[in-house]
Each structure stands twice: as structure tokens, then as C-alpha cells.
Structure 1
């Protein structure tokens, strides 16, 4: 066990300050990755790696961060929210193993340096790897690797700032839906938008994803709410991905209708969002990146592959429009 980095000690319990649950912990916190013992709060996830795989940036999805690159993608266990449609439930619904083969950050960076372009915390909620990431990111940066995470965004501003100071380059935040949706999964939407707003302010590359779930968040009102908040908190230039849901874990509703995704994208474009994408629909036109000024095709994709990239020095090859992202 490693002592946690962000908590307050009250003698007979601790207050965890990593995520917005702000758990009062006398034994285990909600996510069961923090334990109070002998007057200190410890993390059970340090080096407790559940999966590790070299994956393209587009699968996360990052469409405006190093297109075509790969990242050594890794995870631990558990989650701080409770989505009944979770795609990675076999990891997120499993508490951390208290007996495991330790995977040091140096080993992961070495693996990434030999085989990839960066490191990415993903699969389950990476906030639960907080202490590990604080040590991993500087090591990765020292080797010239980029550092990203795919998150539900339910971390505190202090935790986000510490991750940025450690070297976090890019962040993909999955916004689940409005306050009704977050009530269902045990959170509050306002905290996620606050994280997104703060990430952009700190200079972290940001992309927003909305998994459109049949009969949960697939009404026009839901899309309008999402787009309104997207423009308000992170602005028109931050990419917005509407991703198709497929049945998983406890949810057996049919897959999202493609016309629903197209309606969401239409609403976003009408409200001025410059880069709108549809995900999990291979071959769809809105897998591609277009210049928001002249309309030229800039990046052509199929599924998770980049087939053509015409962005030059971060600008449209045709009209010179600056394109948001890290290219």
C-alpha cells in the first residue's frame, strides 16, 4: 500500500479529496480503492494494473490529439460512479485486488517507450490511479511520450491541477447526461462540467464524449442541454463526440439509432460547435474532420484508422484556419 496524496486526517477517519464524492473514510471509501489504517489513508491501486494494451488515439476517442499515434493504455479496478450500461464493467465493478503483481511506473514507461508514442490511463476510471499517475506522467514526459487520460471527469479541481503539474497533456471527458442521468449513477453533472472547464483553463487538451443511450439520454431535449453546456463551459472549438451505445452489463436496450446520433450532431453544428463527430459507426461521414471555415476534408478516417491527414502546422491546408488540437 502507498499513502494517499490528497486527503485530510481527522484522527479517527479521513476525508478523501481526490473525487467529488469526498468520502468520509473510516475503513474503505465508496470506490474501495482507499483504506484508512493506522491513522493514514492508503491507496490500493498503486501499481495494481488490470490491463495494458497499445491502442490508437482514435479509439479513445482523441481526434484532435496526435492523430494516428498510439498510446500504451492501462487501467486498474473499480469506479467512483455506477453506470448500469458500463462497457468495461468487468474492471469497473471489480474492487482492487489486495494481492497482485506490482507493475511499477518505470516498467510501464519502458514498455511505452519501446512500442508506442505515449501513455493513456483508461478502461476503468483513471482518477482512482491518482498517486500512480503523479509518478508516471513525469517519467513519461522525460522520455518524450505524451500523457492522456479518458475520464468521467468526477475529480476535484485540486486533483486535476496536481495531474496537470505532473505532466498531463490531454483529457477526454465522458459527459453522461443531465442531472437526472447523474442521479441514476450517483453523481452530479455540474461537477463534471466544472472539471471540463478547469481542464481547458489549465491548458489541457480536451475532448468531450457523450454516449447516447437508448431511452436514457437520446431525446432532442437531452442533446440541446448537452450542447448548451458544452458551448457554455468549454467553448465551440472543443471537439464533441456522440457515440453509439451497445447493450452491456445490466442494460439490454437496443443499440442507439443512427438517426438519433445524426440529430444530436445537427443540433451541435447549428449551435456553433466546430468539430462534431459520430462514434461507433464505422464509415460514417462524421468520423472525419472538416475545416470549420472552408469545409475542406482535413482528416479522413475509417473506424480507428487515420487514412489521410491534411492539417499542416495545426492549420487547414486550404484556407489557413487554425484547428484546435495537438498535431
Structure 2
């Protein structure tokens, strides 16, 4: 079968198998599928069904991920497949994340072809995005290993539900971990059919392993928009990661099963930004509000504009990772490599 091969990250349990790839740790009967619907028990062995199968392929500005401190103003070769281990009621890519292999057109792109195309298109990185990359583990692992050998940076745009075992396995080949922290436990239970703790654990592990981490918090009115919600997230980042980790507060728009919820007021996003700055987060951002000054990167010491943004366009006002006005070190990956 096209795209099918033996999977990594599992162990046998009599006639069942336990998938150890994500925090659901599915126990899968013979012939059955995991929650992601792309991993199947075939006669007591776990198989992936989506190796090399691509639903979406684009060359995106890295700012679209969003990654603001990782090779800014460069392009990223971006790939997605099908399926997800979450059931987010507000998913913006539900056409592929909640689809099955039979539902949509998928093309085959080998790791070798992906890396070759990324290089020929002048990209600085490869991103696995659009749907959850963890469930595409075998393909992203092989591709990341090859990409690193050819000088490309590698990016997971992820919900963070990967296990410690799987993240450790790929850690040598993964540079950036752009993670959604969607809110507190009630948000994960109500909107995603998942749990918060594994997301926090993997995010801290990625940071401790030396990956570049940026956090995105989509603020949904009535779910995670209180001052207590924002303060909780900021405190967690400060206590477990670093004041220098970028935190993106992004605007929700009605979509999928939350199309009855109003868009996030800009004032709510501005309040989140100001709370983050007050609490000591050095690099908060507002997202999905094109042209807002809180899209820009400012020196946390002297306030100089370091990167000016308008949507996906970034104008760099520094040539190395330090403020040109006061010399304060600025944690931006890639500037010394000539971004």
C-alpha cells in the first residue's frame, strides 16, 4: 500500500500494540487504528500509513509559522500530510487534520525530493506544519536527518503532544519547536479532547534539549481570555523556559465548530501583551492583526525597533543578535549565518 511501512515508537502487548509516539499512548487491537487514524496494527506490528504522503506543500515566510526569532525574513519549505491526534473544535486546517487518507488527494514526496526542492528554492529551513507533524514521525525523522546533512534548519509546528521517547529520538535533527499552548486544562478537555500536562512536559524538554522554542496562544473569547489565563501562561513560561522565549498571542476568528464565537477583540490581545511585558516576558507578540505595532520586535532594554513587521513581511534592523543601540544580546537564531 502506498505510504505504508513499519512504524517507529511502539511496543507489543500480546495481540495489541502500544503506540509510544504521542501522549495518548494508544493500545491498538489488530486491524484497528490509533486516535490519529494514520497508524494501524497490522498482525501485531504497528504501521504508519502516510510515509511520504503530502496534502499541502508551499514555500512560506518563516514568519507564517509563526517563528519570529528563527532565521527571520527567510523562506521555509513547508509540508503537511493528513490526520491529527487532537480534535480541536476551532481547527483552521480541519479539511486535512480531521480527514482520512481516503478523503483527500495526497502526492508522494520522498525525503530526498523534499530536501532537493527546499535547496533549489532557496529555503533556509524545512517545516512540517499544517497538521500535526508528530503523527508523521517516520517521514519527518528521515527528512530532518537528511535536511541537517545538507545545511537546512528543521522545524516542527506542533501541538506538543509528542512523548519524551519520540522527542528524544528526533532531537538531534530538530532545530525549532513552535508549540501551541492553548490554555489551561479545561481548554484541552473541552476543545481538543486532550490533556495539558503532556504539552507542558514536551515543551520544557524541547527547551532543555536546546531546541529553539516559541509559544503560540490563540486567545478564544470565553475560553482562555481572562487575565488569570494570561498570567498563568506567562508565569509558566518564565518559571520553566526563559523570559527570552517569544510568546505569540494570536487572534481567533470563527471557524469549524466554533463559528458562533466572535473574533478576539484587539483590546484583549493588547491586554495580554501588556500583562506579559509587565510580568517579565521580553518578547511578547500579537498575531493575526496585520500592521499592529505589537508585531514588531523591540529591544527589552532600550525599546529600539529590531525587526519591523507587517503581516508576513519582516524588515531587519539589526545584522547580528544584539541591539544596535545599546548592545543588549537578542536571542535570534540565524543572523550570524547571514539571514
Give 1:42's match in structure 2, choosing from 44, 47, 53.
47
Partner of 1:198: 205
Partner of 1:118: 125
**Please, which moves more after superposition, 225-234 or 271-280?**
225-234
Shift of 1:163: 1.6
Shift of 1:102: 2.6
Partner of 2:79: 74
Q: Aligned runs of 1:288-299 on 2, under 5 Å?
A: 288-299=296-307
TM-score, length of structure 2 as denominator length: 0.93
Query: What are the ranges of 5 or more consecutive residues in structure 1 without an aligned counterpart?
Result: none
Matched positions, count:
325
CA distance in 1, matches of 2:250, 2:135: 24
Query: What are the ranges of 5 or more consecutive residues in structure 2 without an aligned counterpart?
Result: none
Shift of 1:101: 4.0
CA distance in 2, matches of 1:242, 1:234: 17
Secondary structure of the structure 2 residue equivalent to 1:140: helix
CA distance in 2, matches of 1:6, 1:106: 23
Is the 8 Å Cα contact of residues 9 and 40 (structure 1) preserved in structure 2? yes
CA distance in 2, matches of 1:232, 1:290: 22
Give 2:96's match in structure 1, choosing from 84, 91, 116.
91
Partner of 1:169: 175
CA distance in 1, matches of 2:197, 2:107: 38
CA distance in 2, matches of 1:95, 1:214: 30
Is the 8 Å Cα contact of residues 245 and 256 (structure 1) preserved in structure 2? yes
Q: Aligned runs of 1:142-157 on 2, under 5 Å?
A: 142-157=149-164
Secondary structure of the structure 2 residue equivalent to 1:250: helix
CA distance in 1, matches of 2:168, 2:140: 13
Give 1:208's match in structure 2, choosing from 215, 239, 245.
215
Is the 8 Å Cα contact of residues 78 and 125 (structure 1) preserved in structure 2? yes
Shift of 1:187: 1.4
Shift of 1:294: 1.3
Shift of 1:325: 2.6
CA distance in 2, matches of 1:163, 1:97: 29
Aligned alpha-carbon RMSD (Å): 1.3
Shift of 1:233: 1.7
Partner of 1:53: 58
Give 2:70's match in structure 1, choosing from 65, 74, 77.
65
Partner of 1:129: 136
- The CA deviation string for residues 212-247 of structure 1, in whole angstroms up to 9 with x for no partner, is 112111111211111111212212110000000111
Shift of 1:96: 2.7
CA distance in 2, matches of 1:227, 1:267: 8
Give 2:11's match in structure 1, choosing from 8, 13, 26.
8
- The CA deviation string for residues 57-91 of structure 1, in whole angstroms up to 9 with x for no partner, is 10110000000010011111111111101011101
CA distance in 1, matches of 2:45, 2:106: 22
